[in-house]
Amino acid sequence: MTQRRALITGGAGFIGAQLARRLLDDGATVDLVDNLSRGVQDELLAELSARPGFSVHVADLRDPSSLGVLGDDYTHVFHFAALLGVQNVLERPNEVLRENVTMLTAMLDLAGRQQALERFVFPSTSEVYVGTQQFFELPIPSPETTPLTVSALDRPRTSYMLSKIYGEALCHHSGLPFTIVRPHNFYGPRMGLAHVIPQVLQRIHDSADGDELVVYSIDHRRTFCFIDDAIEYLVRLLDTDDAVGGTFNLGVQSPEVTMGELGELLCRVVGRDLRIVPGETAPGSPYRRCPDMTHTIATTGHRPAVDLESGARRTYEWYRGNVFEGDGISAR
């Protein structure tokens, strides 16, 4: 097998940096590109930077001239940079649509110029199923073959999933050896603070026994996938030609937990005895979300190995040391 030369955009972020570490461990060379708008140059990037075959380019993918430093001999291009997060989506839908499509188009062009490209990986999102859930009967667990519904175009929340659906179509018509993945609620160390698990961990960490823990959308059900399992799926998809041209849910099919059960589990992890109190239901948040993992498991042979409680403990240990009681450098 020829040595893999990987380019990861958004590589300072949550998934990109963990993937970089794994690819280096497996003998690849890795270039990261990130504008550090969300990702941070912290201990993990310092550790990776000390390793041979690794480099970081601080560049903004919205500026095509910034791509000039990148080579033409990547075998694998992972386009993970995106404008995401509920706050961006609700407050800046115009930028979410335009920037996600602009960045993807630039990266598809760059991937098309590579001399020996083996794979272009594009992360879509579990949000692509939301329109079908709102207006039709969505099968749950949801298979990748579910017909997608694009509606409510005037709603800011639609912007992110629409940019991803359009992105999926761009991949299909790119002529490249692509793989599309649809991540469902990954969690783990170094994911920022704009996601439910680190947010709830922080609130519990800052509470005392007997305090209330207000849980929003308390009866909504989700599954959560620890980052190590997500990375295992990703690298195994690279190892099989069956994944070329395919679309794969990435996540965990069971157990489904309610937000209330998640709150109880996280209290156990932090070691606090709190009273769980129902809060508001977040507008636009689907009642239930769960990927059908049959296709991905059959293609990769991997089944999730990290259960929710163990993953939550590892996540809490990292956040306690690095964010809640640390220097906070990795907090955003």
Binding region for ligand NAD (CB under 6 A):
10, 12-16, 34-39, 60-62, 80-84, 103, 123, 125, 183, 185-186, 192
Residue closer to ligand NAD, measured from CB, 5 or 289: 289
Q: Which is nearer to ligand NAD, 86 or 214 (by Cβ)?
A: 86
Distance CA 144, CA 9 (A): 25
CB of 16 to ligand NAD, least distance (A): 6
Point out the residue whose Cβ comes nearest to ligand NAD. 13
Q: In the bound complex, what is the minimum distance in angstroms from residue 244's beta carbon to ligand NAD?
A: 20
Least CB distance from residue 178 to ligand NAD, whole Å?
14
Picking from 1, 19, 253, the residue whose alpha carbon sits closest to that of residue 118 is: 1
Class of residue 302 by CB neighbours under 10 A (exposed 0-12, middle 13-18, buried 19+): middle
Residue 159 vs 272, nearer CB to ligand NAD: 159
Comparison of 131 and 272: residue with beta carbon closer to ligand NAD: 131
Query: Which of these, 74, 86, 147, 150, lies nearest to 113 by C-alpha position?
Result: 74
Least Cβ distance, residue 186 to ligand NAD (angstroms): 4
Write down the least CB distance from residue 274 to ligand NAD, Å: 26
Q: Buried (b) or exposed (e) across 100-114, using 16+ Cβ within 10 A?
A: bbbbbebbbebbeeb
Nearest to 8 by CA among 84, 80, 75: 80
Shortest distance in whole angstroms from residue 184 CB to ligand NAD: 7
**How, if at all, do strands 212-215 and 54-58 pair?**
unpaired
| Radius of gyration in angstroms for the set of CA atoms belonging to the chain, rounded to a whole number | 19
Kindly tell me which of 117 and 230 has the beta carbon lying closer to ligand NAD. Answer: 230
Nearer to ligand NAD (CB atom), residue 70 or residue 274:
70
SS3 307: coil
